[in-house]
Amino acid sequence: MKKILKKYLPNQLIQYLFYLRNWEHNIYSLNTQININLDTNISDFFIWGKEFSKIEFVAENLRALLIGKNIEVFHILRFFSEEGEFIEEQKFSSSKFFERIKINPIKTESKYISFTHFVDSEKSLKKILEEAGLIESNDICEQNRGYTIYYPGNKNFGCSVHGNFGGISKNKFIRSKTNLKKHIYTSVYEYNKNSIYEIVFNNPTAKTISIKILFNNSKGEMILELPSLGTKFFKVKNYSGSISFESNLPICRPLLFKNPAPNFEGNFDVFHS
């Protein structure tokens, strides 16, 4: 069926029809789906914390990885406040396949904020692929992933985690879509009352999002309001059991800092729940 549609209908109309068909399962906006091309550069959404002794970011050079040789690029990190306002940009050059970047300190009163990662180079991705003989379709884009390494106290000991779901575009800040209906996500993790947790959410959508936190073993609940591109957290201590999250986010999976910074005890951890 898709081959027949491609033969007789414009490409954008085909994408629109298939988007509507899979409406409930799409995590990106319609604008994102239709306007993806080789000039689109998309980032995951990463979290930075003020109280860590050091934070590093392992950035991938997708352009070098695609053709199997070093290409000089700029890794561009853009930081957004707790309320989703742009703070600053940090730029680092590298030709390696993977570059371990030490993030410079950020001036902010917030404990947690978020950032994106993009790459840029003298040659465009399209030109790089054309020279390598790899260009076959324009309906692909560059998606930047990476790992953040958090050092809670001792600068020789850190834990790493990949970024949250993002879908944020460098040029137009295309964001993931919100679901029409709220849904509940229950973490598979069992919280332990002997540990302290800071649970961090960030919002890659264009709308303010409400997240209801449900403490399943105590019947307690609370609500977090997340502005677009904003970051919020809440602390959990003296609690054992599971926690659920109700929201309109397509993927409502927070980042958990277990026994968070500052921590010199060696029992720190960070992970997605």
SS3 for 156-181 is: CCCEEEECEEEEEECCCCCCECCCCC
The residue count for the chain: 273
Is the separation of the CB atoms in 109 and 15 below 8 Å? no
CA–CA gap between residue 43 and residue 45 (Å, rounded): 6
At residue 91, the pLDDT reads: 97
pLDDT, greater one: 134 or 224? 224
Question: Has residue 115 got a pLDDT over 50?
Answer: yes
CA–CA gap between residue 199 and residue 185 (Å, rounded): 14
DSSP helix, strand, coil percent of the chain (3-state; round to 5): 15, 40, 45
pLDDT, greater one: 26 or 180? 180
Q: Percent of the chain having pLDDT more than 90?
A: 55
At residue 8, the pLDDT reads: 44
Structure token pair of residue 43 = 């980032």
pLDDT, greater one: 43 or 142? 43
pTM: 0.85
Question: Has residue 4 got a pLDDT over 60?
Answer: no
Mean pLDDT value across residues 39-59 = 92
Distances (CA, A) of 202 to 83, 104, 211: 10, 21, 11
